[in-house]
């Protein structure tokens, strides 16, 4: 559905994207995560042809993003925290305005989404709160059942209640849609995303399915029979290694249940107990971000 190849974007001297490549399979919910300024919004702006790449290619629905025409745009939904809609129109007036541009617009779905998101149709867009505007953007993106939905920081600044309403509205209508969602609110992506890409300073550190990611990351606590000392050479898959008393903790990034115990013993010596716990997406993200920052500092 989306293929990005060696994408570069420069804003004068600042290089926002540095040779980014990834793909989003059809039917997946791809989460692009990264800290603020990592380049998430830039990618989505390029995908929607709001920005032009400096070099490289981004294809959506089989078309170069620079050549998106109304034929492709009727199949793309877009929700962003920074989306300017005509402030002096009411919710209903703007929906009425957009409807004729989309041949597949489903009025029943529009009414259902409007009810579900609890948006006041008679209120002017300029008078809506931040959260309501995001819901408004979702209302304007769902009724035509887009094949591809691009969500740029959709949870930013939302209170939990609105966030739940937003997610409910989204998930109910998700159906066969392919979703690309950018966020640093990792708690919200957990349970939604099927695939994930981790972005740091304009580079994609990895891309894989959530199942694989959850499978290979473990928070490990090893209790040794002796005073712990870090091994002379820390395996590259171990991140954030710390030793205190006879306890060593680290994050294993290539967890393999069958070989893990033996590998730990070979590196740390006599072991009394090994405790490995699956990690939340937030913990994985934090660990990777710290490791990236440390390696950059080194």
Partner 1 sequence: MIWHIFKKDWKLIWIFVAVVAASQAITEFVLAKARVSDDSPMITLLAQNLPTGMIFFMMFLIAAIVLLDAIPGLRQDWLIRPIPRRDLLLEKLLFTVIAVEGPIFLANLVLGLASGFSLRSVLLVSAERVLYLLFFLVLPIFAFASVTKNMTEAFIFACGFAFLIAVFGTFADYLNTNANRTLTPTLYTGIGWMGELTRFAIVLVAAAVILRFQYFFRKTFLSRALVFFFGFLAFVSLFLPWRPAFAIEERLSPDPAAAKNLSLAFHSQIGRYQPPSGVNNSMYPGEGRDADVFLPLRVSGMHSGDTLITDHGEARLFGSGGKLVYHGSIFGIEVDKAGLTATGEDRHQKITLPASLYKQLQGQPVQAKLDYSFTLFSLSKSYAIPAIGGDERMPGVGWCQTKLNDAGTAVTMKCMMAEKGPTCGGIFLENPSQGTQNPEGFGCYPEYTPYSARPLDDAFRRWVARVSFRDPNGLAKYPVDGPQLPQSRLVIRLYQPLAHFTRSVVIPQLKLGDWQPR
DSSP letters along 100-122, please?
Answer: GG-TT--HHHHHHHHHHHT--TT
What residue has token string 């820390």? 234
Residues in region 18-57 near partner 1 by CB under 8 A: 45, 48-51
| Adjacent-strand bridge partners of 63 | 60
In whole angstroms, the minimum distance from the beta carbon of 67 to partner 1 comes to: 11
Applying CB under 8 A, does 166 fall inside the site for partner 1? no
Residue 49 vs residues 54, 114, 280: alpha-carbon distances, Å? 12, 28, 34
Nearer to partner 1, 148 or 268 (CB): 148
Q: Tokens for 36?
A: 């603020």
What residue has token string 């209903």? 92
Q: Is 278 helix (H, G, I), strand (E, B) or coil?
A: strand
Q: Of 71-79, 184-192, 207-215, 262-270, which part binds partner 1 (CB under 8 A)?
A: 71-79
Phi–psi pair at 151, nearest 5 degrees: -120, 115
Q: Residue 210's closest CA among 193, 198, 188?
A: 193
Burial (CB count within 10 angstroms: exposed 0-12, middle 13-18, buried 19+), residue 38: buried
- Compute the distance between CA of residue 66 and CA of residue 64 in angstroms, rounded to an integer: 5
In whole angstroms, the minimum distance from the beta carbon of 289 to partner 1 comes to: 26
Among 22, 30, 102, 155, binds partner 1 (CB under 8 A): 102
Applying CB under 8 A, does 93 fall inside the site for partner 1? yes
155 alpha carbon, distance to own chain's centre: 11
Among 25, 55, 97, 290, binds partner 1 (CB under 8 A): 97
Among 70, 160, 175, 245, binds partner 1 (CB under 8 A): 70
In whole angstroms, the minimum distance from the beta carbon of 103 to partner 1 comes to: 9
Residues in region 132-151 near partner 1 by CB under 8 A: 137, 140
Q: Of 87-95, 176-184, 227-235, 267-275, which part binds partner 1 (CB under 8 A)?
A: 87-95
In whole angstroms, the minimum distance from the beta carbon of 77 to partner 1 comes to: 9
Applying CB under 8 A, does 84 fall inside the site for partner 1? yes
**Which positions touch partner 1 (CB under 8 A)?**
45, 48-51, 69-71, 73-74, 76, 78, 80, 82-86, 88-89, 93, 97-98, 100-102, 137, 140
């Amino acid at each position: 559905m989306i293929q990005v190849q060696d994408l570069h974007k420069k804003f004068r001297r600042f290089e926002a994207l540095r040779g980014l490549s990834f793909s989003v399979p059809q039917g997946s919910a791809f989460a692009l995560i990264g800290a603020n300024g990592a380049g998430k919004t830039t990618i989505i702006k390029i995908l929607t042809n709001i920005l032009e790449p400096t070099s490289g290619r981004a294809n959506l629905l089989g078309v170069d993003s620079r050549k998106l025409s109304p034929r492709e745009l009727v199949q793309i939904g877009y929700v962003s925290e920074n989306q300017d809609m005509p402030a002096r129109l009411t919710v209903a007036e703007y929906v009425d305005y957009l409807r004729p541009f989309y041949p597949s617009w489903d009025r029943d779905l529009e009414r259902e989404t409007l009810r579900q998101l609890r948006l006041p149709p008679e209120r002017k867009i300029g008078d809506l709160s931040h959260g309501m505007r995001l819901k408004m953007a979702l209302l304007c993106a769902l009724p035509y059942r887009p094949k591809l939905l691009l969500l740029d920081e959709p949870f930013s600044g939302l209170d939990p209640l609105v966030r739940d309403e937003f997610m409910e509205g989204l998930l109910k209508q998700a159906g066969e849609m392919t979703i690309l969602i950018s966020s640093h609110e990792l708690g919200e992506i957990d349970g939604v995303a099927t695939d994930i890409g981790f972005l740091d300073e304009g580079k994609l550190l990895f891309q894989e399915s959530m199942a694989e990611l959850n499978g290979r990351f473990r928070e490990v606590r090893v209790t040794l029979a002796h005073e712990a000392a870090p091994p002379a050479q820390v395996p590259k898959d171990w991140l954030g290694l710390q030793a205190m008393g006879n306890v060593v903790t680290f994050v294993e990034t290539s967890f393999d249940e069958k070989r893990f115990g033996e590998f730990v013993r070979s590196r740390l010596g006599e072991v009394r107990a090994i405790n490995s716990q699956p990690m939340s997406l937030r913990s994985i993200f934090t660990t990777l971000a710290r490791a990236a920052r440390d390696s950059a500092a080194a």
